[in-house]
Chains A and B, each alone.
Chain A
Amino acid sequence: MNNPATLTWLAGHELKLGWRDWVALMTAGRRNRARTVAIALIVFAAFMHLFAYWIVAGYADAAVAADTATLVGITGTLVLSWSLLLSQAMESVTRAFYSRSDLDLILTSPVSARKVFAVRMGRIAAASVTIAVLLAAPFIDVLAVRGGARWLSAYGVVAGMGAAATAAALALTIALFRLIGAKRTRLIAQIVAAVIGAAFVIGLQVAAILSSGSISRFAALQSPWMLAHAPDTQSAFWWPAHAVLGDPRALVAVVALSFTVLGLSILAFSRRFGEHAMAAASVGSAVVRQHRWRLGFRRRSPARVLRQKEWTLLARDPWLASQTLMQILYLLPPALLLWVTFRDAAGSYVVLIPVVVMAAGQLAGGLAWLSISGEDAPDLIASAPIAPRRALRAKIEAVMGMIALLFAPIVAVLALESLFAAFVSALGILIGAAAATLIQICFRTQARRSQFRRRQTSSRIATFAEAFSSIAWAATSALAAAESLTALGPALIAVGIMAGVWIISPKS
Chain B
Amino acid sequence: MHSPASAKRPIALAVRGLSKRFDRPAVDALDLTIYGGEFYALVGPNGAGKTTTLRMVVGLLRPDAGSIAIDGIDALADPVAAKQITAWLSDEPMIYDKLTPFEYLEFVAGLWRIDTKAAEARAHDLIGWLGLEPHAHERCEGFSRGMRQKVALAGALVHDPKLIILDEPLTGLDAGSARVVKNVLRERVAAGGTVIMTTHILEVAERMADRIGVIASGRLIAEGTLDELRHMTGKTATSLEDTFLTLVAEPVVAA
Given A304-B110, A309-B107, A378-B94, A289 and B137 contact (CB-CB distance below 8 Å): yes
Partner pick for B138 among A288, A304, A378, CB 8 A cutoff: A288
Q: Is the CB of B139 within 8 A of A306?
A: no
Q: Is the CB of B96 within 8 A of A376?
A: yes
Chain B residues within an 8 Å CB radius of A387: 80
Partner pick for A285 among B108, B123, B142, CB 8 A cutoff: B142
Per DSSP, are chain A's interface residues mostly helix, strand or loop, or mixed? loop
| CB-CB contacts below 8 Å: B95-123 with A | 95-100, 102-103, 106-113, 116-117, 119-120, 123
Q: Is the CB of A309 within 8 A of B137?
A: no
A175 at the interface (CB under 8 A from B): no
A296 at the interface (CB under 8 A from B): yes
A331 at the interface (CB under 8 A from B): no
Chain A residues within an 8 Å CB radius of B106: 297-298, 305
B36 at the interface (CB under 8 A from A): no
Q: Is the CB of A302 within 8 A of B59?
A: no
Chain B residues within an 8 Å CB radius of A309: 96, 99, 107
Residue in B closest to A292 when the chains form the complex, CB atoms = B137
| CB-CB contacts below 8 Å: B127-172 with A | 137-139, 141-142, 155
Cα distance, A313 to B99, chains bound together (Å): 7
Cα distance, A296 to B99, chains bound together (Å): 15
Chain B residues within an 8 Å CB radius of A298: 106, 116
Residue in B closest to A508 when the chains form the complex, CB atoms = B62
Question: Which of B99, B100, B120 gathers the greatest number of chain A CB atoms within 10 Å?
Answer: B99
Cα distance, A380 to B105, chains bound together (Å): 12
Given A379-B88, A385-B112, A386-B111, A287 and B142 contact (CB-CB distance below 8 Å): yes
Query: Taking the nearest CB of chain A, how far is it from the CB of B98, in angstroms?
Result: 4
Cα distance, A383 to B139, chains bound together (Å): 23
Q: Is the CB of B139 within 8 A of A288?
A: yes
Partner pick for B86 among A287, A300, A383, CB 8 A cutoff: A383
Q: Is the CB of A284 within 8 A of B142?
A: yes
The number of residues on chain A lying at the interface, defined by a beta carbon within 8 Å of a beta carbon of chain B, is 37
A317 at the interface (CB under 8 A from B): yes
B83 at the interface (CB under 8 A from A): yes
Chain A residues within an 8 Å CB radius of B83: 383-385
Q: Is the CB of A317 within 8 A of B98?
A: yes
Partner pick for B94 among A287, A316, A379, A385, CB 8 A cutoff: A379
B81 at the interface (CB under 8 A from A): yes
Given A297-B116, A377-B94, A290 and B137 contact (CB-CB distance below 8 Å): yes
A286 at the interface (CB under 8 A from B): yes
Given A286-B142, A288-B141, A292-B137, A385 and B113 contact (CB-CB distance below 8 Å): yes
The number of residues on chain B lying at the interface, defined by a beta carbon within 8 Å of a beta carbon of chain A, is 39
Residue in A closest to B121 when the chains form the complex, CB atoms = A297
Residue in A closest to B89 when the chains form the complex, CB atoms = A379
Query: Taking the nearest CB of chain B, how far is it from the CB of A242, in angstroms?
Result: 52
A135 at the interface (CB under 8 A from B): no
B58 at the interface (CB under 8 A from A): yes
Q: Is the CB of A302 within 8 A of B138?
A: no
A36 at the interface (CB under 8 A from B): no
Partner pick for A290 among B107, B109, B138, CB 8 A cutoff: B138
| CB-CB contacts below 8 Å: A294-324 with B | 295-302, 304-306, 309, 312-313, 316-317
Q: Is the CB of B80 within 8 A of A305?
A: no
Residue in A closest to B120 when the chains form the complex, CB atoms = A297
Given A302-B110, A382-B59, A385-B81, A376 and B94 contact (CB-CB distance below 8 Å): yes
B225 at the interface (CB under 8 A from A): no
Question: Which of B107, B123, B155 gathers the greatest number of chain A CB atoms within 10 Å?
Answer: B107
Partner pick for B84 among A295, A304, A306, A385, CB 8 A cutoff: A385
Q: Is the CB of A383 within 8 A of B96?
A: no
Chain A residues within an 8 Å CB radius of B142: 284-288
Question: Which of B81, B100, B141 gathers the greatest number of chain A CB atoms within 10 Å?
Answer: B141
Cα distance, A298 to B103, chains bound together (Å): 10
Chain A residues within an 8 Å CB radius of B102: 295
Chain A residues within an 8 Å CB radius of B59: 382-383
Chain B residues within an 8 Å CB radius of A384: 83, 108, 111-112
Cα distance, A290 to B138, chains bound together (Å): 6
Query: Taking the nearest CB of chain B, how far is it from the CB of A416, in angstroms?
Result: 38
Q: Is the CB of A379 within 8 A of B90?
A: yes
Q: Is the CB of B138 within 8 A of A289?
A: yes
Chain B residues within an 8 Å CB radius of A385: 80-81, 83-84, 111-113
Q: Is the CB of A297 within 8 A of B109?
A: yes
Q: Is the CB of A290 within 8 A of B100?
A: yes
Q: Is the CB of B81 within 8 A of A316?
A: no
Task: Jot down 14 A-B pairs with beta carbons below 8 A, ordered by A.
Answer: A289-B138, A296-B116, A297-B106, A297-B119, A298-B106, A300-B110, A309-B99, A312-B98, A313-B98, A379-B88, A380-B155, A381-B111, A385-B84, A385-B112
* Other A-B pairs beyond A305-B111, A316-B98, A384-B112, 4, CB < 8 Å: A296-B120, A309-B107, A316-B139, A376-B96
Give residues in B with beta carbon < 8 Å to A: 58-60, 80-81, 83-84, 86-88, 90, 94-100, 102-103, 106-113, 116-117, 119-120, 123, 137-139, 141-142, 155
**Top 9 A-B residue pairs of the complex, sorted by shortest distance between their CB atoms:** A305-B110, A385-B84, A385-B83, A316-B98, A377-B94, A384-B111, A383-B88, A297-B120, A288-B139
